[in-house]
Amino acid sequence: MKSKYGKAGFIILLTFAIIALLSPILAPQPYSYIAPGIDTHIAKERAAIVLGSNNSSSGGNQTYLGPLASSPGTTGSYVIYYAVSNGSLYSEGIGSTGSTPVNSSFYLYNVPVNSTNTLLMPIIFPLLNYKELIPGGQYDLQNFILLSTTNGNLYVGKAGWTGTLTGSGTPTYVAVSHAKVNGTIVSPPVSDSIPLQFTLPPFVPFYNIPSDYYSNPNYEIGNPGFVYVVSHNVTGYYLNEFQAYPLVHRWTIKLNTNTAPRNVIYYGSFFLLGLVGDESSVIVSYSNNLTAYSPVNGATVWNLHTNSSIVEGPYIPRDYQFQSNSYNSLFIATANNNVYSVNLGTRNMTKILHSTSRITGFSSSYGSVGFPAVLVSETSTSVYITSSLFTTSTNTTSTNNTNTTNVSRSDYTTRNFTLPAGYGSYLTNPIFDNFAFTFIIASSHGLMFSLQTGNGSYPFTWRATLTPTPVNVSQPITFYDVATGRSVIGVIASTGVFYIYDTNAYDLNPIPPTFHTVTGAIFPLGTNQEGQDLFAQFIQSFWTDWLLGVMIGIATIAVALVAAMVIGYKGGAIGSIFEVISLSVYLIPGLALLIALQSVIGSSFTNLVWIVTIVSWPFTTFTLIGIVRQIKSRTFVEAARVSGAGFFGIMRRHILPNIAPLTLYLLSLAISGGVAAVAGLQFLGLAPLNLSTWGGMLNSVLGNFYYAVLAPWWVLPPAIALTMFIFAFIFASRGLDEVVNPRLRRR
């Protein structure tokens, strides 16, 4: 420790050794760890549209209701619609036509609201023109938008265009029909027709209904357009049915409940013969009851009791609205945190899962065959991904239109994942993107991210962060955008901006050093282009490089000692052969020999040790040969030989003790040289890159040295560590030399 060089080398090596021992704690991720996609991938923002109503004279204290989109044909949607709390309806251009560029806003209509009544969430739905469908066999969809206020007023009008074709001219809202219910409206109305994307079903409900439609049994072309409204007055809660367009009241029934219904949903939107045999129904949930009513006359079709109040649902997958199948089901969540599926034909109820907290939203794949490929159940903090294995049947008893069903045994597989924390609440339903087969989840503070439902350990694959940060967001929607020809995501932020995102994402790798990510992970050295955590690789390299260096150093010294003893002391024919072999290996260029041996032997941790040892031992051997020959000629060695000492005895008692200091010096050089050789091979991509080493980290810039400027955190830490490690052994060897060399020690 008297040597300055030795002291510096010892301190560096001790520090590196401590880090190596602590590496499993400092960086527990395996080499194969890749940062979650939600941290390193971001969705492409196509537009951030400042809503026209945000610049109006109504001020900034508006609530935005929407967005709404529905395709009137296979081309997709040309605009989106939304309403604001002052009663105004708007359409927003999204760049689909020359007359509807991005940030073009169109005021369409206004319904009266005041301090005593509010505007409810509008709905959009398509209808067929019955009079044109029958004579000409045409399939001409018309979108309708229904506005409603809590004081009982309903308004429905045609969402059209000033031109003769869809998308030509500017958006309009015309031919508005008005109706009123007796009492207040307690929840947004629902339609028996749901919004469409570019894929059109075989049949859509119609308007322009013949006057004798309901009394003539020969009309078997499916459902007319209906709208359902839950109202309340002093006598109780009521379910009302209106002809959708023009608004004509058809029937009202009183609901058997003293509390407001939780939800209303229509089953059978696009059934060809929906009104025949009560295939279609209006399903209402309240308290711990599910009740289905006939759309023909409001008669009760079935009633189901649950053992706890229903807090979410019913939810029906999209394809179950297209055709009546034996597997069609709806999904509900109850207050005891259970999720059930209810078969819509048999009313068998099957428990799907039990969550740790209340379910706040549902979504699923389309469900084209059997149980949906994936059912997503969301809570305020986590998400459950459920797939069906098989189901078991149960017995159902029916008395006076009331079904009592025992819960079936659950045969489902469910995985649970924690949602990113610190981004507000998760109260909107996830939305399914059929193109990417992913689900989009949104938080109230403007974080949207994709959920892939494969078997990955972390399914969230990309994110989009709304700027500026809102305090709330609307229910996101997916719609087929005519402008881009692809499915996109749309959401309105409380800041008055409508965001459109493509579902494809940018890979941000390599990301710079960061201590704040969506998942809460930290990356002090960022990531490489594959998304691997460079800090984890860097820390783990301390142990790997130490181990490689020590093993190579020991192997090199061991081989060199044997060769030096044979050549320098034993001599003879065997010594000459060893000397020729050593000289031959020594004269071959080291890098070329390394590459050749690697190609022949192959890459593995053990093979790396032997490859570098084979290349390194001749230098150490020739350094030791001269010292061995000098010691051999000493008097004490001659005396030992005369006294009868054997070869191994002389080696053990006289040769090895005298070359031990030099051996330690050469060992330190062999360790540093071995680490440098492995680093060179890995930098060139000739050694296995699944080992965490500093040389392997430097390989990232081999194909593109611009990365050294673009991402210096790739290069500087491993380069500095590698340099310090090699120089530490050089300093240590210099310190040893000063200790064992009398001439240096006297200075």
CB distance 620 to 733 below 8 Å: no
Amino acid, single-letter form, for residue 90: Y
| CATH number for 684 | 1.10.3720.10
Q: Are residues 512 and 592 in the same domain?
A: no
Pairwise CA distance, residues 273 & 296, whole Å: 12
Pairwise CA distance, residues 573 & 135, whole Å: 110
What mean pLDDT is predicted for residues 138-161?
92
Q: Are residues 503 and 551 in the same domain?
A: no
Domain end, chosen from 523, 550, 574, is at: 523
Give kind and range of the element (H or E) at residue 241: strand 236-243
Three-class DSSP labels, 169-181? CCEEEEEEEEEEC
Residue 405 is predicted with a pLDDT of 44
Residue 698 falls inside a structural domain: yes
Residue 68 is predicted with a pLDDT of 96
Residue 681 falls inside a structural domain: yes
The yes-or-no verdict on residue 42 having pLDDT over 90 is yes
150: exposed, middle or buried (Cβ count in 10 Å: 0-12, 13-18, 19+): middle
Q: Are residues 549 and 697 in the same domain?
A: yes
Higher pLDDT, 676 or 135: 676
Domain end, chosen from 702, 726, 742, is at: 702
User: In whole angstroms, what separates CA 619 from the centre of its chain?
Assistant: 54
Residue 373 falls inside a structural domain: no
Domain count, the chain: 2
Pairwise CA distance, residues 442 & 243, whole Å: 35
Q: Are residues 509 and 598 in the same domain?
A: no
The yes-or-no verdict on residue 325 having pLDDT over 50 is yes
Residue 404 is predicted with a pLDDT of 46
CB distance 725 to 672 below 8 Å: yes
What mean pLDDT is predicted for residues 29-50?
90
The yes-or-no verdict on residue 312 having pLDDT over 50 is yes
Nearest to 368 by CA among 307, 308, 437: 437
CB distance 224 to 209 below 8 Å: yes
Pairwise CA distance, residues 124 & 145, whole Å: 4
Higher pLDDT, 419 or 6: 419
What mean pLDDT is predicted for residues 391-402?
48
Q: Are residues 460 and 517 in the same domain?
A: yes
Pairwise CA distance, residues 741 & 22, whole Å: 36
What mean pLDDT is predicted for residues 253-273?
91
Residue 195 is predicted with a pLDDT of 93
- Cα torsion 167, 169, 173, 176 to 10°: value is -110
User: In whole angstroms, what separates CA 288 from the centre of its chain?
Assistant: 35
Nearest to 504 by CA among 440, 418, 445: 440
Higher pLDDT, 528 or 236: 236
Pairwise CA distance, residues 638 & 716, whole Å: 55
Residue 58 is predicted with a pLDDT of 46
Pairwise CA distance, residues 400 & 674, whole Å: 86
Q: Are residues 613 and 552 in the same domain?
A: yes
What mean pLDDT is predicted for residues 299-310?
93
Pairwise CA distance, residues 160 & 171, whole Å: 6
Of the listed ranges 169-183, 510-524, 621-635, the one predicted with least confidence: 621-635
> 555 has which bridge partners?
none
What mean pLDDT is predicted for residues 559-586?
72
The yes-or-no verdict on residue 747 having pLDDT over 70 is no
Residue 409 is predicted with a pLDDT of 47
Residue 536 falls inside a structural domain: no
Mean pLDDT of the chain: 85
The yes-or-no verdict on residue 600 having pLDDT over 70 is no
Residue 495 falls inside a structural domain: yes
The yes-or-no verdict on residue 650 having pLDDT over 80 is no
> pLDDT, tens digit, for every residue of 199-251?
788 788 999 888 888 777 666 666 899 999 999 999 999 999 999 999 999 99
The yes-or-no verdict on residue 583 having pLDDT over 80 is no
User: In whole angstroms, what separates CA 427 from the centre of its chain?
Assistant: 19
112: exposed, middle or buried (Cβ count in 10 Å: 0-12, 13-18, 19+): exposed
Higher pLDDT, 624 or 48: 48
Quote the tokens at residue 299: 């008669």
Higher pLDDT, 2 or 3: 3
> pLDDT, tens digit, for every residue of 467-512?
999 999 999 999 998 888 888 999 999 999 999 999 888 999 889 9
Going by the DSSP 8-state scheme, the letter that residue 320 receives in this structure is G
Of the listed ranges 166-175, 269-278, 282-291, 314-323, the one predicted with least confidence: 269-278
- Sheet architecture: strand order including 431-433: 431-433, 438-442, 447-452, 460-465, 41-50, 497-507, 486-492, 477-481
Q: Are residues 494 and 606 in the same domain?
A: no
Residue 491 falls inside a structural domain: yes
> pLDDT, tens digit, for every residue of 78-98?
999 999 999 999 999 999 888
Quote the tokens at residue 371: 């149980």
> pLDDT, tens digit, for every residue of 707-717?
778 788 888 89
Of the listed ranges 23-37, 206-220, 470-484, 565-579, the one predicted with least confidence: 565-579
Q: Are residues 470 and 569 in the same domain?
A: no
CB distance 13 to 7 below 8 Å: no
Q: What percent of the chain has pLDDT over 70?
A: 87
Q: Are residues 608 and 465 in the same domain?
A: no
Residue 91 is predicted with a pLDDT of 95
Q: Give the domain extent around 456.
A: 37-62+428-523
Residue 460 falls inside a structural domain: yes
Residue 593 is predicted with a pLDDT of 64
Domain end, chosen from 523, 556, 587, is at: 523
Residue 49 is predicted with a pLDDT of 92
What mean pLDDT is predicted for residues 39-68?
81
How many other C-beta atoms can be found within 10 angstroms of the C-beta atom of residue 284?
23
Residue 136 is predicted with a pLDDT of 59
Q: Are residues 605 and 566 in the same domain?
A: yes
Residue 31 falls inside a structural domain: no
3-state SS, residue 618: helix
Is this model's pTM higher than 0.85 or not? no
Of the listed ranges 424-428, 602-606, 661-665, the one predicted with least confidence: 602-606
Which of the four pLDDT bands, split at 50, 70 and 90, describes residue 393? very low
Q: Are residues 508 and 557 in the same domain?
A: no
Q: Are residues 556 and 683 in the same domain?
A: yes
Which of the four pLDDT bands, split at 50, 70 and 90, describes residue 8? confident
What mean pLDDT is predicted for residues 179-201?
91
DSSP line for 192-248: SS----SSPPS---EES--TTTTT-TT--S-PBPEEEEEEEETTEEEEEEEETTTTE
